[in-house]
Amino acid sequence: MSERTIQTERPWSLKNFFFQWEWFLVGLFVIINIINSFLSPYYFTADTFLSTPMNFLDKAFLVYPMMMIIVLGNIDVSVGSIIALSSVIMAVSYNAGLAMPAAMVLCLLVSTLCGFINGFLQAKFKELSSTIVTISTQIIYRGIAYIILEDKASGKFPSWFSFLGWGYVGEIPFIMIVFIIFTVLFAILIHRTRFGRQLFAMGNNSTACRYSGIKTENMLILVSTIMGFMAGITALFLTSRMGSTRPNVASGYELDVIAMVVLGGVSTSGGKGRISGPLLAIFIIGFLNYGLGLFNISAQVLLIIVGILLIVSVMLQNLRLGKQGQKSGAKPR
Amino acid sequence: MKNTRASRLSEYSRELGLLAFIVVLALLFQMRNPKFLTLSNLKDLFTNTAILGVLSVGMMMVLLTGGIDLSIGATIAFSGMVTALTVSANPAISPLLSLLQGMAVGLVIGVIIGVLIAYCKILPIIASLGMMNIVRGLTYLVSKGKWVSAYQMSDSFKAISTGTTLGINNLVVIAIVIYLIFSYFLNNTRTGRYVYAVGSSPETADIVGIPRRRILLLVYATMGALAGLAGVLWVSRYASAQGDTAQGYEMSVIAAVVLGGVSVSGGRGKVSGIILGTILFGMLNNALPLINVSPFWQQAIQGVVILLAVISNVLIKRNNDRMTLRKRAI
């Protein structure tokens, strides 16, 4: 954690306006869509843009809370396991006779508790990095899912449950409406509340924040708990889309989500980022996947591409932030 | 690195404690299943744990610098796959050459990760997560989704892991040699001490003129080479190379290393510690099936073990620091 001054408001100028990471993302998004439209003559229809996101929006719920965690300068690699555990518990408890709405609430409770435990451990054992804490809880949560369900699948949900992942309200997919609501909520939370400002302040200098009266431990726990809750939301939609669940669902989700956040211009050293970046990144990676599907490219190549995307976008970020730092005379890290 | 007698004593006592724990656990296992402390089972235990031992040395160095490497499972799979494909295409190739080939493949991956972390300033977890995906994807690509099975491998290749030197299984011999080399390197060479210095305090290391970036590169390159070596050993041992070989194995390695008392925040850890940590972890893997614990429990137990180990490391360090402070006050 280095001591940096917190930028409050950058002076508006035409140059600053156009030299924003978001424009690069918008460009990337347009290019991907142009390529996709060459691949499929039926690409540019309203249906494409409404139904394609249904394939990747379940992951998108994780992006904003992950952004909050990365803004704090932390990381969470346990989200995939939280999804698996809460989804498995929901399925098993429903099949054991619990009513479906109650099972869904249980799913959210379990995931929120998992997130709380992550935050609690980090707050109580500050010597430990978030990396090692979430690596161990990652193994534990998925391990519990395996203990509960072994290598079986569980499902047979009531038919209305599939509405979550597959249903439409009028022309618009239900999942997209929920996503828009969460986007607005998180945009307000991150950029328009005191909580949001404290988040960025903590990412810049946690010690100074503690001395100036911010309850940093509570912040850590709160952010991780929100992450857990959103993992539960993802578990609901993902399970609904798949119709059944196994202990190995959502493995590797953390990487995709971290890639989206970082591609969205959020600095991995903490304290920097805007919600518009990750929002664009969700759709860039989502439509990229869709396009690669049109190409008939295998899932393995996709692994490679997401890996490269993650590394390259962090490298570009570092270059960009390094330059900015030099310009404003700040000491480069 | 504190050289006060108190912290030295308690670090020493930590290893004694670990040893005592291993003995107690072994006796408990023995009571549940008398097959545990037989010569053949102990041979099995050490042979199965040897690969973990090879990797734990590399991971210890990575953790000493305050970093982490999650890509080694993928590196094991990739180097194992490349070597296995080469062997199945040219059965006459010498096993020594296969070992070198695997190490070279791992070294290249390690160097890439090292450059990303040391010179492109990417966080270790992000660089290694990204590389994990890339290398795992490459493994599927070079194998085109197929397996290399036992019948496609030459006998001399399979003999790497079944053969013995001086009556001891080759895998165990390799692990012991690597322990010795790195124990000397970390304790008795200047570069080895630099590894500790970089992890203890990166800023200080920079100020006193330690080539911090080069040390980081060295550490990740070593980790890569050891993972490459482990890949060859793995494929030879299990006589099959698959796309999902060693998936998640990095977690076992991290578990063994933190059990051995290596601090995840860097600068603290000893080779003698990780030897005990590796044996303890290998013992859990070996004994749980023997005392009829379902294989589905093993992952959760492994996770709890890691968490308890890192938390106890923190508590021990807090206690040490408090004791040092108290001494200073008087």
Which pLDDT does position B5 carry in this prediction? 57
CATH assignment of B5-323, given 1.10.10, 3.40.50, 1.10.3470, 1.20.120?
A: 1.10.3470
Nearest to B122 among A75, A258, A315 (CB): A315
Cβ-based contacts of B126 with chain A (< 8 Å): 75, 258, 262, 268, 310-311, 314
Range with the poorest average pLDDT among A33-37, A122-126, B161-165: B161-165
Q: Chain-wide mean pLDDT for chain A?
A: 84
Q: Which residue has the higher pLDDT, A17 or B313?
A: B313
What single-letter DSSP state applies at residue B241? B
DSSP strand pairing (A172-173 vs B164-165): unpaired
Q: Do B306 and A139 touch (CB under 8 A)?
A: yes
What single-letter DSSP state applies at residue A161? G
pLDDT tens, B114-158? 999 888 888 888 888 889 989 988 888 888 777 777 777 777 777
Number of helical (H) and strand (E) elements in chain A, helices listed first = 16, 2
Structure tokens at B96: 């020594």
The share of chain B scoring above pLDDT 70, in percent, equals 95
Cβ-based contacts of B137 with chain A (< 8 Å): 300-304, 307
Range with the poorest average pLDDT among A105-109, A283-287, A298-302, B115-119: A298-302
The closest alpha carbon to A9, from A189, A200, A265, belongs to: A200
Which chain B residue has the Cα nearest residue A152?
Answer: B296
The closest alpha carbon to A73, from A206, A227, A186, A258, belongs to: A206
The closest alpha carbon to A312, from B58, B33, B112, B316, belongs to: B112
Going from the C-alpha of B57 to that of each of B102, B223, B277, B278, the distances in angstroms are: 17, 8, 11, 10
The share of chain A scoring above pLDDT 90, in percent, equals 38
Indicate if the pLDDT at residue A70 is higher than 80. Answer: yes
Q: Mark which residues 179-238 of B lie under 8 Å from A by CB.
A: none
pLDDT tens, B26-77? 888 888 888 888 888 888 888 888 999 999 999 999 999 988 888 999 999 9
Q: What is the mean pLDDT of residues A189-199?
A: 91
Q: B148: helix, coil or strand?
A: strand
pLDDT tens, B284-320? 888 888 777 788 888 888 888 888 888 887 888 788 8
Which residue out of B78, B117, B121, B213 would a mutagenesis test of the A interface target, given it has the greatest number of A Cβ atoms within 10 Å? B121
Which chain B residue has the Cα nearest residue A254?
Answer: B129
Indicate if the pLDDT at residue A143 is higher than 70. Answer: yes
Residue type, B13: S
Left, alpha or beta for A3 (phi > 0: left; psi -120 to 50: alpha)?
Answer: beta
A298 reaches B (C-beta below 8 A): yes
Which chain B residue has the Cα nearest residue A302?
Answer: B137
Which pLDDT does position B263 carry in this prediction? 78
Which pLDDT does position B328 carry in this prediction? 76
**Cα A27 from chain centre:** 22
pLDDT tens, B183-214? 898 888 888 888 888 888 888 888 888 888 89
Q: What is the mean pLDDT of residues A190-206?
A: 90
Which chain B residue has the Cα nearest residue A135?
Answer: B251
Question: What residue ranges in A85-170 does DSSP mark as E strands?
Answer: 168-169
What single-letter DSSP state applies at residue A271? S
Q: What is the mean pLDDT of residues B86-105?
A: 85
Nearest to B122 among A144, A147, A311 (CB): A311
Q: Which residue has the higher pLDDT, B191 or A146?
A: A146
Indicate if the pLDDT at residue A327 is higher than 50. Answer: no
Tally Cβ neighbours within 10 Å of residue A32. Answer: 20
Nearest to A307 among B137, B251, B310 (CB): B137
- pLDDT band at residue A326 using 50, 70 and 90 as cut-offs: very low
Going from the C-alpha of B74 to that of each of A217, B58, B158, B231, B248, the distances in angstroms are: 36, 15, 21, 9, 8
Q: Which residue has the higher pLDDT, B30 or A220?
A: A220
B311 reaches A (C-beta below 8 A): yes
Structure tokens at B183: 């124990």
Structure tokens at B162: 């079944």
pLDDT tens, A160-184? 888 888 888 888 889 999 999 999 9
Structure tokens at A11: 């002076």
B144 reaches A (C-beta below 8 A): no
Which pLDDT does position B181 carry in this prediction? 92
Question: Can you give the residue ranges of every domain in chain B?
Answer: 5-323
A101 reaches B (C-beta below 8 A): no
Q: Do B303 and A301 touch (CB under 8 A)?
A: no
Rounded to two decimals, the ipTM of the complex is 0.81
pLDDT tens, B225-284? 999 999 999 988 887 778 788 777 888 888 888 888 787 777 788 888 889 889 888 888
Q: Do A311 and B126 touch (CB under 8 A)?
A: yes
pLDDT tens, A72-93? 988 898 999 999 999 999 999 9
Which pLDDT does position A324 carry in this prediction? 53
A331 reaches B (C-beta below 8 A): no
**Å between A159 CA and nearest CA of chain B:** 31
Three-state secondary structure readout of chain A:
CCCCCCCCCCCCCHHHHHCCHHHHHHHHHHHHHHHHHHHCCCCCCHHHHHHHHHHCHHHHCCHHHHHHHHHCCCCCCCHHHHHHHHHHHHHHHHHCCCCHHHHHHHHHHHHHHHHHHHHHHHHHCCCCCHHHHHHHHHHHHHHHHHHHHCCCCECCCCHHHHHHHHCEECCEEHHHHHHHHHHHHHHHHHHCCHHHHHHHHHHHCHHHHHHCCCCHHHHHHHHHHHHHHHHHHHHHHHHHHHCCECCCCCCCHHHHHHHHHHHCCCCCCCCCCCCHHHHHHHHHHHHHHHHHHHCCCCHHHHHHHHHHHHHHHHHHHHHHHHHHHHHCCCCCC
Cβ-based contacts of B125 with chain A (< 8 Å): 75, 77, 131
Q: Is A232 buried (19+), middle (13-18) or exposed (0-12) by CB count in 10 A?
A: buried
Residue type, A176: M
Cβ-based contacts of B297 with chain A (< 8 Å): 143, 146-147
**Å between A110 CA and nearest CA of chain B:** 17
Asked if A333 and A8 touch (Cβ cutoff 8 Å), the reply is: no
Which chain B residue has the Cα nearest residue A313?
Answer: B122
Q: B90: helix, coil or strand?
A: coil
Q: Do A139 and B299 touch (CB under 8 A)?
A: yes
